[in-house]
Copies of this chain bind each other. A is one copy, B any other.
Amino acid sequence: MSVTAPAGFIAAGVTAGLKKSGGLDLALVQNLGPLQNAATVFTSNRCKANPVLWSEQVMRDGRVSAIVLNSGGANCYTGKIGFQTTHATAEAVAEALQVSAGDVLVCSTGLIGDQLPLGKLTAGVQEAAAVLATDAAASADAGLAAAQAIMTTDTRPKLSSHRSPTGWSIGGMAKGAGMLAPGLATMLVVITTDAVLSSPQLDVALRAATRVTFDRLDSDGCMSTNDTVSLLASGASGLDADLTEFTDALIALCTDLTLQLQEDAEGAAHDVAITVQNAGSEDEAVRVARAVSRSNLFKAAIYGNDPNWGRVLAAVGTVDAADAAFDPYGIDVAINGVQVCTAGEPDQPRELVDLKPRAVSVVIDLHEGSAAATLWTNDLTHDYVEENSAYSS
């Protein structure tokens, strides 16, 4: 059901001709209200794409009527012409849906440095708006089509939805993998709800959720110029949601989408969960896990079904003392449940570790405090190199 699961949202996915493959490449999601509240989290990359620069302006008043998303081009590093393309796309949506362009979020994904064809974009917007006007009843299919239209090298659409016991709903769609999706740049996520929540409440919930979900997916260590996670509330259920309960449901939904992104990461052969426990703080646990997740030697070893715990510790040791407290010679490491290292010395034989299953668990015990965090990553494979070595050609 995706973004159309909650009441008050309609969606469409159409073929605008932006993708060489000829597949669906433009998605439109409209919030019919009565509320048009929203929150967003954008990439922290200093090189932000034009649609991010535009959408940051849109979010100043926390009001969003619609969101338009395209694959087939990131519209990043395309200068003033690129910004005008984004602006004109929002204007086309505004005209077609009779809303204000200043309330239209724009997201783009694809190659950096190429201009998008504005004519195809605006024609695609008109077609999508026509679908919304005539076919909104078929919202389940439309939600799927929208999720398909934002796919780049994704092999399958990512959807999730949840209905609370009290009657309100959340739905979401996502594309990409990692902060810079391996291959095509960008993680885009749209989440909708029919709960009655203000934009500031949505913002609190969204930041709490992304901090422990999308922010902890680090498939390839690369950060996109286009990442956008948006949360729109229609209030169409008429039901107030308890913010804690809503945040918990949102975290569950974002976790589901995060794991779908991890599972579909380009070329990946293993889904690796790195848990750092007994850290001085949750932030310190994340920093240590991130260092390991970014070690190409560790990632290549996992690909080779090699439980090379020395590479785990070598990566842990690169974390500055100011960033995480630990005794480098007091660390334990377990891989898939086998404690291969205790207090910095070999423990169980590495031959006991079975790395053939796709799911891999690495647990690092710092013996420093009581905080813990899990970060998700993938292995470094031949397919990753292959898919990313000639993308723009």
Q: Restricting to A80-121, which residues have a CB under 8 Å from any CB of B?
A: 111-115
**Which chain B residue has the least Cβ–Cβ distance from A303?**
B389
Most chain B beta-carbon neighbours within 10 Å: one of A48, A225, A309? A225
The answer on a CB contact under 8 Å between A341 and B113 is: yes
* A386 on the B face (CB < 8 A): yes
> Could you tell me if A300 and B388 are in contact, using CB atoms closer than 8 angstroms?
yes
Return the contact of A301 from the options B311, B317, B381, B389 (Cβ within 8 A). Answer: B389
From A7-15, A128-136, A162-170, A290-298, the one touching the partner chain is A290-298
Chain A, residues 21-40, CB within 8 Å of chain B (1/0): the string is 00000000000000000000
How long is the Cα–Cα vector from A346 to B75 in the complex, in angstroms?
A: 11
Please give, as numbers and ranges, the residues of chain B lying within 8 Å of A303 by CB-CB distance: 385, 389
Check if A74 is an interface residue, CB within 8 A of chain B.
Answer: yes
A78 closest partner in B (C-beta) = B345
Interface residues of A in 370-393 (CB under 8 A from B): 380-382, 384-386, 388-393
Residues of B contacting A77 in the complex (Cβ-Cβ under 8 angstroms) = 309-310, 313, 341, 344-346
- Which of B48, B180, B301, B345 is A328 in contact with, Cβ under 8 Å? B48
Is A314 touching B225 in the complex (CB atoms < 8 A)?
yes
- Can you report 20 residue pairs joining A to B where beta carbons are below 8 Å apart? A46-B316, A46-B317, A47-B316, A47-B344, A48-B317, A48-B328, A77-B309, A77-B344, A79-B345, A111-B308, A112-B310, A113-B346, A223-B318, A225-B313, A297-B388, A301-B391, A303-B389, A304-B390, A304-B391, A306-B390
List the B side residues contacting A221 at CB < 8 Å.
294-296
A315 on the B face (CB < 8 A): yes
Taking the complex as formed, is A222 at the interface, i.e. its CB lies under 8 A from any CB of chain B? yes
Whether the Cβ atoms of B74 and A391 lie closer than 8 Å is: no
Asked if A319 contacts B222 (CB within 8 A), the reply is: no
Contact indicator A111/B310 (Cβ below 8 Å): yes
**A207 in contact (CB, < 8 A):** no
- Chain A contact residues, CB within 8 Å of chain B: 45-48, 74, 76-79, 111-115, 180, 182-183, 185, 220-225, 294-297, 300-301, 303-306, 308-311, 313-319, 321, 328-329, 340-341, 343-346, 350, 380-382, 384-386, 388-393
Q: Which of B48, B78, B314 contacts A223 (CB 8 A)?
A: B314
Contact of A79 among B111, B306, B310, B344 (CB under 8 A): B344
Q: A346-B78, A385-B382 are in contact. Are A46 and B390 (CB under 8 A)?
A: no
Of chain B, the residue at the smallest CB distance from A304 is B389
Query: A296, B46: Cβ atoms under 8 Å?
Result: no
- Please tell me if the beta carbons of B314 and A185 are within 8 angstroms of each other in the complex: yes
Q: Beyond A222-B296, A328-B46, A385-B385, is A314–B180 a contact (Cβ under 8 Å)?
A: yes
A382 near B384 with CB under 8 A, answer no
CB closest chain-B residue, reference A115: B346
Q: Max chain B CB contacts within 10 Å: which of A308, A388, A390?
A: A388
